[in-house]
Homo-oligomer: A and B are copies of this chain.
Amino acid sequence: MQLRLDRTSRVPLYRQLAEQLRRRILSGELPPGTRLPPERRLAATLGINRSTVVSAYRELAAAGLISGHVGRGTVVVDPAQRRESRAPAGGVPWPQLFAPLATALYDPALEDAMIAAARPDVISFATGQPAPECYPIATVRQLLDEALHREGARLLQYCPSEGYPPLREAIASWSQQAGIRCTAENVLVVSGSQQGLYLVARALVEPGDLVAVESPTYAGALQIFRAVGARLLPIPVDEFGMRVSLLERALEHRRPKLIYTLPTFQNPSGATLALDRRLHLLDLAARAGIPVVEDDPYRELWYDAPPPPPLAALDQAGTVISLTTVSKILFPGFRIGWIIAPWPVIRQLALVKQLVDLDTNPLMQWAIWAFLERRLLPPHLEELRRVHRERRDLLLASLAAEANGALHCRVPAGGLYLWCELADGIRARDLVPEAARQGVAIVPGESFFVDPAQGRSFVRLNFTYPAPAALVEGAKRLGRALSALREARALLAQASSPIV
């Protein structure tokens, strides 16, 4: 396939590439079913960045001309299968109009995992939700009814962007119990902590800014920081959390705009930042004047012993912006989270919040206020810890029995995930589709690294969402998928051996 890119043109390279591929697809030169070269290889062949190829492929995917699948690569779509209702009509060349940042959001590996997870016959280890059997549905029904009975129209109107004032007060009290010095003015209520992180990124990060992240880290955070144009500085994580000494060394030469960390029961690794590293991190940040963004959704979900205090509680210098959510300790559907930060930050974030969605649902805020104010959360957390601990141990035991040594999982002291390394050279991107075939959804490690290649022998397994029987059956299916891949490797090795 001959492709020529003109580096002197004002047309971006990725659009040149997309346009040339588009013409070849429409002319039939690349017929349906053709597998396009892997992004990395095509980038190397053309001497361009991988991200340029990614952008071009995504533009073609958005136009419905190609589609990408984990394990199958990127394939030219059969026009008969391009659904008519999906075809862009008429005069607007939509794919050319999309801002490139939006185009760069698409993570086909993650999307494949999510599509598999949504199949009714599939057991999902791919989600991040607490045990649904614990959702306090009766309490929620009663609280919502009481709220509308007592407050009526007031909870159906607009609400201050900063949040429902009584909830801000209750969150401040709740946080003070964790040792965080704050008042209601340091609290911003957000529609889930994904929105919280987005607001922080929008308010603080400008294109080209450097952001220090853990490696691995939350996949959604990588997407957000990339979308606002950040360059990423990955700092490795070991069993005691971020290797702060490596951050210190990096800070000698580079100055990130912020440091993003999940210090407690980290997603995906499960690691918890040790107390001495917490103090070291805060000291570095305060001396350099760099904000620390503490993403802390799992703190209350400890199964062995309570974790060290949150960074926000140890912070003496006002450097920490702390994010929390009820999605992991109650349920995700209410879309309620909060940010605790110095007041000038809250004010700025509230302006951005007003821009992106005006305010957060006041009826939901009232219900969470009642959960905090009436001390309904502590007994609920007790129950969650008990149920989650049992599920963690059950999945670990089932995998030990079924995976036949092909999977090495750390025992996480809290949180929602097992982080597992694949043995025998098995790659996550082969395991994900094979597991889906066997009826179990898992998340490939690639999505959690700045350099996806570093995650190719890892997978993340959630142990809290499936009920006990599903955990056992899911482990069996995963075991079958691992066996199938091992056999395929063995056959391949035989086939490529000289015949004797």
Oligomeric state, in number of copies?
2
Mask: chain A, 338-367; 1 = CB below 8 Å from B; 0 = not: 000011110110011011111111111000
Which of A97-105, A233-241, A453-461, A487-495 makes up part of the contact surface?
A: A97-105
Q: State whether the Cβ of A286 lies closer than 8 Å to any Cβ in chain B.
A: yes
Q: Is the CB of A140 within 8 A of B156?
A: yes
Within 8 Å CB of A106, what residues of B? 351
Look across to chain B and name the residue whose beta carbon is closest to the beta carbon of A153. B132
When the two chains form their complex, are residues A317 and B90 in contact, meaning their CB atoms are under 8 A apart?
Answer: yes
Chain B residue nearest to A361 (CB atoms) is B335
Measured CB to CB, the closest approach of chain B to A405, in angstroms, equals 34
Q: Give which listed residue, B141, B355, B361, contacts A198 with CB less than 8 A.
A: B355
Is A348 within 8 A of B157, CB to CB?
no
How far apart sit A95 and B203, CA to CA, in the bound complex (Å)? 11
CB distance from A220 to the nearest CB of B (A): 8
* Interface size of A in residues (CB-CB distance below 8 Å): 97
Q: Taking the complex as formed, is A183 at the interface, i.e. its CB lies under 8 A from any CB of chain B? A: yes
Q: How far is the CB of A465 from chain B (nearest CB, A)?
A: 9
A289's partner among B93, B351, B352 (CB-CB below 8 A) is B93
Question: From A129, which residue of chain B is reached at the shortest CB distance?
Answer: B157
Task: Kindly state whether residue A470 has any CB partner on chain B within 8 Å.
Answer: no
In the complex the two chains form, is B98's CB within 8 Å of A157's CB?
no
Indicate if the CB atoms of B357 and A357 lie closer than 8 Å.
Answer: yes
A291 within 8 A of B: yes
A94 in the interface (beta carbon within 8 A) = yes
Which residue from B95, B127, B342, B343 sits with its C-beta under 8 Å from A344? B95
Flag if B335 contacts A357 (CB, 8 Å).
yes
The residue that A364 contacts in the complex, of B195, B224, B291, B361, with Cβ under 8 A, is: B361
Q: Which of A49-57, A81-89, A442-450 contacts B (4 or more CB under 8 A)?
A: A81-89
- A500 contacts across to B, CB distance below 8 A: none
Is A202 at the interface (CB under 8 A from chain B)? yes
Q: Is the CB of B91 within 8 A of A319?
A: yes
Known contacts A99-B202, A159-B333: does B148 contact A90 (CB below 8 Å)?
no
CA gap between A140 and B204 in the complex, in Å: 39
The one of B64, B91, B205, B317 in contact with A317, judged by C-beta atoms closer than 8 angstroms, is: B91
Q: Quick check: B137 and A153 within 8 Å, CB to CB?
A: yes
Given A345-B94, A361-B361, CB of A332 within 8 Å of CB of B156? yes
- Closest chain-B Cβ to A140's Cβ sits at a distance in Å of 6
Does A63 contact B344, Cβ atoms closer than 8 Å? Answer: yes
A286, closest chain B residue (CB): B91
Interface pair B203/A98, CB less than 8 Å apart: yes
A272 to B129, CA, bound (A): 47
| A141 and B145 contact, CB distance less than 8 A | yes
Q: Which 7 A-B pairs have the closest CB atoms?
A: A89-B318, A90-B317, A156-B333, A156-B331, A91-B286, A195-B357, A90-B318
